[in-house]
A and B are shown apart, each in its own frame.
Chain A
Amino acid sequence: MQEPLIVMQDVSHVFQADDGVGKAALSHVDLTVKRGEFVTVLGRNGSGKSTLARHCNALLLPTSGHCVVAGMDTREEKDLWKIRSHVGMVFQNPDNQLVAAVVEDDVAFGPENLGVPPQEIRSRVHESLEAVGMEHFRHCAPHLLSGGQKQRVAIAGALAMQTECLVLDEPTAMLDPQGRAEVLRTVCRLHEERGLTVVYITHFMEEATVADRIVVMDQGQICRAGTPKEIFGDVKSMDELGLSVPLAARVAFDLRRKGVKLPAGILTDTDLVQALEGYHVH
């Protein structure tokens, strides 16, 4: 976890609105994502999270500032396809990102575009589907899969391009609890087993606790960044930002206010129970 994979320097992005007035979706963002890191991005609707994500693989280019991915500036036209195969992307709506009507054909779409020889595509498709646990569904039609399964196919589609970084833009927003757990588990496993770099955008605070680092966005800017313990320790500013914190962190915060002495950095139920160990109750 040393070299930077994605480096954004003073990146701004201004969308031209219909009335000619520009609206800054990102303003002066500095962000470095290191190889093998798991970064979660939090923020309210419209805070610029998606715009940020789309800069990671040159779907959007900065209107000012620089974005460098694996040493390549995203403005360099010639490196575009290299950048996009380095950084795979999973979107929110599982229905709008699967292209083919059969699972394995969809996973093959990326490598086909890259001109990979057929024999190798086959092995990549097989391997990628296995990595997300969807090998059994390779001949299935996507519209018959559950939301969680569709998102796992989308992840496999990125893996088949041999991407080293996965950017997920609210991949669980449209899923039920089961699907949400499925997707998060898959992403975590890929991160741990293959050292995949992950940029994960979500509205679910509990999902953010697994990250190495959390970045909080507000009005197109990164307003806070730190470990989950640091970010969720500060319940007040998260509330002010219109976000929330995991239950255990909030309970710990409220207990502290009632005069109970608890260590910092309580995120999970287990953390809380352990922190209470010094106390005796009757």
Chain B
Amino acid sequence: MSIEVSHVSYTYMPGTPLSRQALDDVSAVIPEGSVTAVAGHTGSGKSTFIQHLNGLLKPYTGKVFVDGTDLGDRSKKGKRALVQARRKVGMVFQYPEQQLFEETVAKDIAFGPRSLGLGESEIDERVKRAMDAVGLAYDEFADKPPFRLSGGQMRRVAIAGVLALEPAYLVLDEPTAGLDPRSREELLQQMMRLHRKQHTAIIFVSHHMDDILRLADTMLLFRDGKIAAKGAPREVFMQTELLKECGLRPPRIMELSSELCRAGYLSQMVYTEKELVDVLGRRLRDAR
């Protein structure tokens, strides 16, 4: 089971002077239960790419399959399967708190499950589970108007609204943008807990290379509408020249550790802060 993107191209406003090709023959496979990071600077095509994953944008050429269902299937028979397939992919846009609209937190989160046509008790259950997943206490927040909450809390309500659909694949476009360090870390941890517990596949767009390095098992690096590199973050980030061309820098931890390698304090690259401190601490103490 996977989302499979096969030779997808997409052009905005085709046939006009403002036409712009946003994706150019992009192929990728996102397996279920994986954590995939999407990187690239603004306008590199990453936002267009993720909007193809649940059929919000239709490829001009190429195909997108969700667990084997072709999202481009327009036949009568295909239609039901299509709706089912699209529901498997939850989409959290940038600044999702701007899409809240209901009077209470619980009602807003219930919007998704309700439109799925579920029963009231099932809806309630899902709202509770979703709020729990993002660390919002049901008793405290369910009846509050979302617009009275802090920015970080509103964002979690919005994410819960997507989680309540219980997607198998969760796509998030820069989920931590604008948050302070602690809120960022909390949100990322909640995301990873969901991944561990429910085996939800996480696909997230991020400008934080260090987050990508420590969280993702695969990364897709976009440049000019194409995938410039894909693979394990450690390997992709080693291609410093390519990164520079993409307008990015390696994760801080890798910059520091290659600096230390060059100066002779490390014999090989390390990829986590803990490892760096352990290795360095040991070597330095030994030297005394």
**Interface residues, chain A, CB within 8 Å of chain B?**
43-46, 92, 146-147, 170, 173-179, 203, 205-206, 242-244, 247-248, 250-251, 254-255, 258-260, 269-270, 272-273, 276, 279-282
List residues of chain B with CB within 8 A of the CB of A258.
Answer: 277, 281, 285
Nearest residue in B to A205 (C-beta to C-beta)? Answer: B181
Give the interface segment out of B9-17, B189-197, B254-262: B254-262
Per a CB cutoff under 8 Å, which of A170, A206, A255, A273 touches B252?
A: A206
List residues of chain B with CB within 8 A of the CB of A92.
Answer: 178
List residues of chain B with CB within 8 A of the CB of A255.
Answer: 277, 280-281, 284
List residues of chain B with CB within 8 A of the CB of A242.
Answer: 180-183
Q: Is the CB of B273 within 8 A of A176?
A: no
Measured CB to CB, the closest approach of chain B to A275, in angstroms, equals 11
Contact with A along B123-157 (1 / 0, CB 8 A): 00000000000000000000000000011100000
24 contacts between A and B (CB under 8 A): A45-B179, A146-B42, A147-B42, A173-B177, A175-B42, A177-B41, A177-B207, A206-B252, A242-B180, A247-B253, A247-B256, A250-B273, A251-B256, A251-B280, A258-B277, A258-B285, A260-B285, A273-B259, A273-B265, A276-B263, A280-B287, A281-B283, A281-B284, A282-B283
List residues of chain A with CB within 8 A of the CB of B209.
Answer: 177
Q: Is the CB of B150 within 8 A of A46?
A: yes
Q: Is the CB of B177 within 8 A of A243?
A: no
**Interface residues, chain B, CB within 8 Å of chain A?**
41-43, 150-152, 177-183, 207, 209, 247-249, 252-253, 255-256, 259-260, 263-265, 273, 276-277, 280-281, 283-288
List residues of chain A with CB within 8 A of the CB of B280.
Answer: 251, 255, 260
Nearest residue in A to B183 (C-beta to C-beta)? Answer: A45
CA distance A205 to B182 in the complex (A): 12
Nearest residue in A to B251 (C-beta to C-beta)? Answer: A247
CA distance A109 to B284 in the complex (A): 59
Measured CB to CB, the closest approach of chain A to B12, in angstroms, equals 13
Per a CB cutoff under 8 Å, which of B42, B182, B256 touches A248?
A: B256
Nearest residue in A to B44 (C-beta to C-beta)? Answer: A176
Q: Is the CB of A203 within 8 A of B247?
A: no
Measured CB to CB, the closest approach of chain A to B153, in angstroms, equals 10
CA distance A174 to B174 in the complex (A): 10
Per a CB cutoff under 8 Å, which of A177, A203, A243, A279 touches B248?
A: A177
Q: Is the CB of A178 within 8 A of B247?
A: yes
Q: Is the CB of B247 within 8 A of A177?
A: yes
Q: Is the CB of B256 within 8 A of A272?
A: yes
CA distance A175 to B178 in the complex (A): 10
CA distance A254 to B272 in the complex (A): 13
